[in-house]
Amino acid sequence: MKLAVDAMGGDYAPKQIVKGAIEAARKYDCEIVLVGDQEQIEDELKANNAQDLKNIQIRHTTQVIEMGEHPVEAIRKKRDASLVVATKMVKTGECDGVLSAGSTGAATAAAQLLLRTINGVDRPSIATPLPTSDGLVLLLDSGAIVDSKPKDLTEMALMGSIYSQYVYGIENPKVGLLNVGEEETKGNKKVQTTYPMLKSMSSINFIGNVDGRDIPTGMADVVICDGFVGNIVLKFAEGLAITLFKLIKDAIKGGGIFAKLGALLVMPALKKLGKRLDVTEYGGAPLLGVNGCCIICHGSSTAKSICSAINVANEYVKSNVVERIRDSIEKEEMLKNDSEAN
């Protein structure tokens, strides 16, 4: 696999991006092209004694898309931006995937404008993995479509199911629709319209509505919602995990000698739990529905996050997700047409 990494995107770019790419280049069987300012990238490679790594290349660019810029306008005006050039490398076939920790809006727009969406998919969606009590749940959309339509939600269900099956190895993934109650009649007009559409799809294992509290229990393997709701759920989960660990630390510090002794006994279990809740363990989130592998990382991604995200891209490409989504979309459309004809 050959991956184009936007070295200039993210709060800690290029330092953490380059460091994460170095870790991945040493750990995984892949080639990495660091796209951005050559001088800054070379400085970081030297700082990490990685200037001689054979599976890391540099593509020099002169522009960067900043977080506050309008995504579409920035992409059209800044033709030599690191994100734009990295995405074009996927379009031309020079690379198998693109990864960025920069503006989510810009990364999504670049993928749509340059890679285009898969035939039959109106708009792509971001699929974010979240930890559950016994594994992972895939939440989508988590920020790409804030005003999704029922058809968008059905496409998310199909794409999320395929990703969960072929990347996570979950046979016949359970798909749930995020709602304010389990009853079919609950929710706003959008989810009420979506419910029977999902129920009629033969390509997914739809289990009905799921409540917000059901997400971390693992009731569903894939949870569908619009990007406005999904992004709030995602950021609430991140904030809750951070707050819980802070509360635990504060309780231990203020609990006296016995609390500290007890903490020593449970420390291995706490570290294991911390690893399960650590977002850096899961890397980036794939943008499903475009003609190519596009991995979107958190703006505050560290080297560990970037390394994990590169592995996500590796699995995405190896699992042939794009072709599987394309085939499933075509199959579902054929079944729908046959049903309407009869």
Residues 294-305 have a mean pLDDT of 91
- pTM as predicted: 0.87
308 domain residue, yes or no: yes
What is the pLDDT at residue 109?
93
217 domain residue, yes or no: no
Q: How many domains does the chain have?
A: 1
210 domain residue, yes or no: no
Place of tokens 């569908």: 224
Residues 82-102 have a mean pLDDT of 96
What is the pLDDT at residue 283?
72
CATH number at residue 329: 3.40.718.10
CB crowding 222-249: b at 16 or more within 10 Å, else e: bbbbbbebbbebbeebeeebeeeeeeee
What is the pLDDT at residue 68?
85
236 domain residue, yes or no: no
Q: What is the pLDDT of residues 247-279, one digit of tens each?
A: 877 777 777 776 777 767 766 766 665 555 555
What is the pLDDT at residue 270?
61
Q: Determine the Cα–Cα distance for residues 217 and 157; give it in Å rounded to an integer.
A: 19
298 domain residue, yes or no: yes
17 domain residue, yes or no: yes
* Owning domain of residue 117: 1-121+289-342
332 domain residue, yes or no: yes
146 domain residue, yes or no: no
